[in-house]
Amino acid sequence: MSGVLRVEAASVVLGGRLALEDASLTVAAGELVGLIGPNGAGKTTLLRAALGLVPLVSGAVSVASRPGYVPQRHEFAWDFPIDVAGAVLTGRTRTIGWLRRPRQADREAAERALELTGLTGLARRPIGELSGGQRQRVLVARALAAEPRLLLLDEPFTGVDVPTQELLNQLFRQLAAEGRALLMTTHDLAAAARTCDRVVLINRTVVADGGPELLTEPDRMLRAFGLDRAMPTETMT
């Protein structure tokens, strides 16, 4: 497997605070990696560093090709007057260029993304009329329309129903099997254990990196979540 994303000793300062410190990880082609940690641990910061959206104060990030990015749902303007197909096609903006008409190849890429995410039948529905799970699938399809080798996903399971979660689980496994690299932040430990090839525990820096069995190791989980050993494990969920 070839490396698609490499983060080496990366540190990021946001608002005068060290949000990420000496963090290192690698995601290879064909891998689905879960990024696990408490709120404020630097998970989203690491994704944004990989996208080049926040500067590093030290370290390096290497990406083999332009990644696709699935933000958290609240970051998208769902009141914008556009239908599902149009929203997914915006994922091709870098390829199309500003104020240019999409080509046939762009439309075909968007159609494939709609099909992969089960949205073909909703292509003409205004995005403001979608359920939470449908909106999440739109964001995934929008990222896939760019045909990225690397997909960065920020909390894709938050607020979605069980059928949507299962559809996304299957889709992410399919994409990994096709040779894409996926890095996913999530608070859903059960989904990460079922779906991910590896998990990376993070709390400003990488605490542990290994198979999904890490999620059952109390010492490492306590360290990642900054908890005292005496506290009940339910606090971590």
The whole-angstrom separation of Cα 118 and Cα 61 is: 33
Please indicate, yes or no, if residue 72 is contained in any of the structural domains: no
Give the tens place of pLDDT for each residue, 41-81: 999 999 999 999 999 999 999 998 889 999 998 889 999 99
Are 126 and 83 in contact, with CB atoms under 8 Å apart?
A: yes
Looking at the fold, whether 59 and 164 belong to one and the same domain comes out as: yes
Looking at the fold, whether 84 and 55 belong to one and the same domain comes out as: no
Are 87 and 129 in contact, with CB atoms under 8 Å apart?
A: no
Please indicate, yes or no, if residue 26 is contained in any of the structural domains: yes
The whole-angstrom separation of Cα 202 and Cα 222 is: 11
Q: Which CATH number do you get for residue 236?
A: 3.40.50.300
Hey, what amino acid is at 13?
Answer: V
Give the tens place of pLDDT for each residue, 143-186: 999 999 999 999 999 888 899 999 999 999 999 999 999 999 99
Last residue of a domain, one of 147, 182, 206: 147
The whole-angstrom separation of Cα 3 and Cα 17 is: 30
Last residue of a domain, one of 131, 147, 163: 147
Among 52, 53, 58, 66, residue whose Cα is nearest residue 20? 58
pLDDT bracket for residue 2 (50, 70, 90)? low
Q: Is the pLDDT of residue 237 over 90?
A: no
Looking at the fold, whether 157 and 209 belong to one and the same domain comes out as: yes
Dihedral sign computed on CA atoms, order 118, 159, 32, 217: negative
Looking at the fold, whether 154 and 235 belong to one and the same domain comes out as: yes
Which CA distances in Å does 69 have to 4, 142, 148, 155, 237?
A: 14, 9, 9, 11, 25
Are 35 and 202 in contact, with CB atoms under 8 Å apart?
A: yes
Looking at the fold, whether 37 and 118 belong to one and the same domain comes out as: no
Which residues constitute the domain of residue 127? 77-147
Secondary structure (3-state) at 21: strand
pLDDT at 96: 81
> How many structural domains compose the chain?
2
Looking at the fold, whether 51 and 155 belong to one and the same domain comes out as: yes
Looking at the fold, whether 152 and 236 belong to one and the same domain comes out as: yes
